[in-house]
Chain A
Amino acid sequence: KNQVEQSPQSLIILEGKNCTLQCNYTVSPFSNLRWYKQDTGRGPVSLTIMTFSENTKSNGRYTATLDADTKQSSLHITASQLSDSASYICVVRGGGGNKLTFGTGTQLKVEL
């Protein structure tokens, strides 16, 4: 069964600190992996997409990594800001029918 597991479920950090969110998946065959940021009361917004051949990709203070061998991805946030407080959702495309499988997200709170 295709699954996407995210950890931790929730995280609280101080402003200016770094953090790393994890995404492990069992989706096979793999097409791509996307990280979304979802602010409270809004729809998800794509941060980055990773394909099989990509190991790392940055979008400002966000850096995503992908290890297709171990089926793991991480999202690293550098110098966190209050506006980074959101839910971060990992979504993997692949498997039979090349469908999307969603993780349940990591709830990040950045405090002063």
Chain B
Amino acid sequence: DAGVIQSPRHEVTEMGQEVTLRCKPISGHDYLFWYRQTMMRGLELLIYFNNNVPIDDSGMPEDRFSAKMPNASFSTLKIQPSEPRDSAVYFCASRRDQLYNEQFFGPGTRLTVL
């Protein structure tokens, strides 16, 4: 298995532009998580899905952020409009359907908003 796949790996955009981050989880994993990582705050859970359904989006910072999972093999995190404070590394992770199973992280997308 190729592991969790994220694209793009790097994104540089200007303030106000729309940004879409993509994730393909490991096949057979029922949970998908989106995280944001910054030096100041470390890893923060934004939202997670179970069987394509959003379960907890309490970590989504504001309405500019939205996430979708149209099928078991694809998810997107969209920021519209983007702001410089959104600059961070965004990770996607997936896990099998058992509570204490390990989450497997993708390589991340480094987002820079100018």
Residues of A within 8 A of B (CB): 31-32, 34, 41-46, 49, 51, 89, 93, 97-100, 102-105
**A-B contacts, CB under 8 A, total:** 38
Total interface residues on B, CB under 8 Å, equals 17
Q: Does B91 contact A (CB under 8 A)?
A: yes
Q: What A residues does B41 contact at CB under 8 A? A: 104
Residues of B within 8 A of A (CB): 4, 41-45, 56, 91, 93, 99-100, 102-103, 105-108
Quick one: which of A44, A49, A100 contacts B105, CB cutoff 8 A? A44
Q: What B residues does A45 contact at CB under 8 A? A: 105
Quick one: which of B42, B45, B100 contacts A103, CB cutoff 8 A? B42
Q: Are A43 and B100 in contact (CB under 8 A)?
A: no
A-B contact pairs, 22 of them (CB 8 A): A31-B100, A41-B107, A41-B108, A43-B93, A44-B43, A45-B105, A46-B102, A46-B103, A49-B100, A49-B102, A89-B42, A89-B43, A93-B100, A97-B56, A98-B99, A99-B45, A100-B45, A102-B42, A102-B43, A102-B44, A104-B41, A105-B42
